[in-house]
């Protein structure tokens, strides 16, 4: 193992162990990004880039982009449980071409990007047992740790603390940009959604949406095919500094790609995330 990767692993373990005590961030280097290089098009959303969202991950299955995810530390990607497949999986981080994901073993490398195979997949046990829309959360362990840079950096998860209630969020992804279009977007896009009463989502989807989920929507734009597993986030002033904190994981929405989306409520699963990281970091 190279010395630089070994050092990264040592740093990662500093944030694991007992979660008792005061609040802290899972990774202290999280939630920092650079201004986008692009001007302000996810479905009818705004075009952005990886500098503004360095935690964004494309989840690849058998060489095909299937879902999105978020980098949460040097070695783990947070995504939806339904985005975890039995087939060979890999993740792409940084600046890469989402329409030509290729294979991590092909030898091609882009200076500001990572292509890493997944060596461990963890899905919430109750998602497997119940096959309901709840518990739609999973973690992917990369074969090796990644170094942080302007284009690769984790999103924030807060441990031991309830962050103030937020009603407006950002969702980001490379999903299709219109209903019926099977082709993912070459450009990363984002949009703003607002919290909606869970009863409205329960009624619309004919599926119980509970406190472990967040119902959001927008009249102008929404998630679409390929955005599943990606982060729903907000910029929060935390310890005197604005950071991007993840509140949800895109779970499911309308087939029309417009109106309502249900996200897994990350705060409800922080104990589960913590336990998985502690047991699977070696």
- The tens digit of pLDDT for each residue in 193-220 reads 999 999 999 999 898 999 999 999 886 5
CB neighbour list of residue 223: distance below 8 Å, 6 or more residues apart: 42, 43, 171, 173, 175, 230, 250, 253, 257, 261
C-alpha 151: how far from its chain's center? 15
pTM of the model: 0.85
Tell me the CA distances in angstroms from 208 to 134, 165, 198, 259, 276, one per residue in order.
Answer: 9, 22, 9, 18, 27
Same domain, 101 and 233: no
Residue 104 lies in a domain: yes
Range from 13-17, 46-50, 133-137, 195-199 carrying the lowest mean pLDDT: 13-17
Helix (H) or strand (E) holding 277: helix 270-280
Same domain, 195 and 230: yes
Same domain, 240 and 163: yes
Residue 48 lies in a domain: no
- DSSP for 154-182, please give it: PPB-EES--PPP--EEEEEE---SSTT--
Same domain, 247 and 132: no
> Cβ atoms within 10 A of the Cβ of 197, count?
10
Residues of the domain holding 110: 3-20+55-154+269-280
Pairing of strands 189-195, 56-61: unpaired
User: What local confidence, expressed as pLDDT, does residue 130 receive?
Assistant: 75
Same domain, 64 and 86: yes
45 beta partners: none
The answer to whether 138 and 126 are in contact (CB under 8 A) is: no
CATH code assigned at 134: 2.40.10.10
pLDDT in tens, 232-249: 999 998 888 899 999 999
User: What local confidence, expressed as pLDDT, does residue 67 receive?
Assistant: 92
191 beta partners: 171
Same domain, 14 and 139: yes
Same domain, 197 and 244: yes
Ramachandran quadrant class, 55 (left: phi over 0; alpha: psi -120 to 50; beta: rest): alpha
70 beta partners: 56, 78
Residue 50 lies in a domain: no
Same domain, 196 and 168: yes
Q: What is the count of structural domains for the chain?
A: 2
71 or 36, which is more confident? 71
Same domain, 208 and 120: no
Is the pLDDT confidence value at 133 over 70? yes
Same domain, 165 and 107: no
Residue 27 lies in a domain: no
Same domain, 217 and 264: yes
User: What local confidence, expressed as pLDDT, does residue 42 receive?
Assistant: 40
Closest residue by Cα to residue 224 from 172, 186, 175: 175
Average pLDDT over residues 250-268: 86
User: What local confidence, expressed as pLDDT, does residue 177 receive?
Assistant: 52
Percentage of the residues of the chain whose pLDDT score is greater than 90: 50
The answer to whether 161 and 145 are in contact (CB under 8 A) is: no
User: What local confidence, expressed as pLDDT, does residue 41 receive?
Assistant: 36
State whether residue 252 is helix, strand or coil.
Answer: strand
Residue 34 lies in a domain: no
Residue 47 lies in a domain: no
The answer to whether 45 and 53 are in contact (CB under 8 A) is: no
Same domain, 10 and 90: yes
């Amino acid at each position: 193992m190279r010395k630089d990767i070994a050092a990264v692993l040592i740093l990662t373990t500093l944030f694991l162990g007992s979660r008792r005590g005061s609040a802290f961030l899972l990774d202290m280097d999280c939630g920092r990004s650079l201004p986008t290089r692009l001007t302000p098009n996810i479905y009818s959303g705004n075009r952005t880039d990886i500098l503004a969202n360095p935690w964004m991950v494309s989840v690849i299955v058998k060489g095909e982009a299937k879902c999105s995810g978020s980098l949460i530390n040097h070695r783990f990607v947070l995504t939806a449980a339904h985005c975890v497949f039995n087939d060979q999986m890999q993740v792409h981080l940084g600046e890469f071409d989402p329409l030509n994901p290729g294979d991590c073993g092909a030898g091609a490398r882009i200076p500001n990007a990572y292509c890493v195979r997944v060596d461990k997949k963890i899905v919430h046990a109750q998602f497997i047992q119940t096959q309901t829309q709840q518990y739609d959360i999973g973690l992917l362990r990369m074969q090796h740790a990644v170094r942080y840079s302007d284009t690769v950096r984790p999103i924030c998860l807060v441990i031991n603390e309830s962050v103030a209630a937020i009603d407006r969020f950002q969702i980001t992804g490379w999903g299709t940009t219109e209903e019926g279009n099977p082709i993912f977007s070459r450009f990363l896009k984002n949009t703003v959604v607002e919290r909606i009463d869970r009863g409205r989502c329960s009624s619309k989807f004919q599926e119980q949406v509970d406190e472990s989920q967040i119902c959001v929507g927008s009249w102008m734009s929404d998630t679409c095919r390929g955005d599943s597993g990606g982060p729903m986030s907000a910029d929060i002033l935390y310890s005197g500094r604005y950071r991007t904190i993840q509140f949800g994981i895109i779970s499911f929405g309308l087939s029309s790609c417009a109106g309502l989306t249900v996200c897994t409520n990350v705060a409800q699963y922080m104990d589960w995330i913590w336990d998985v990281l502690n047991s699977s970091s070696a």
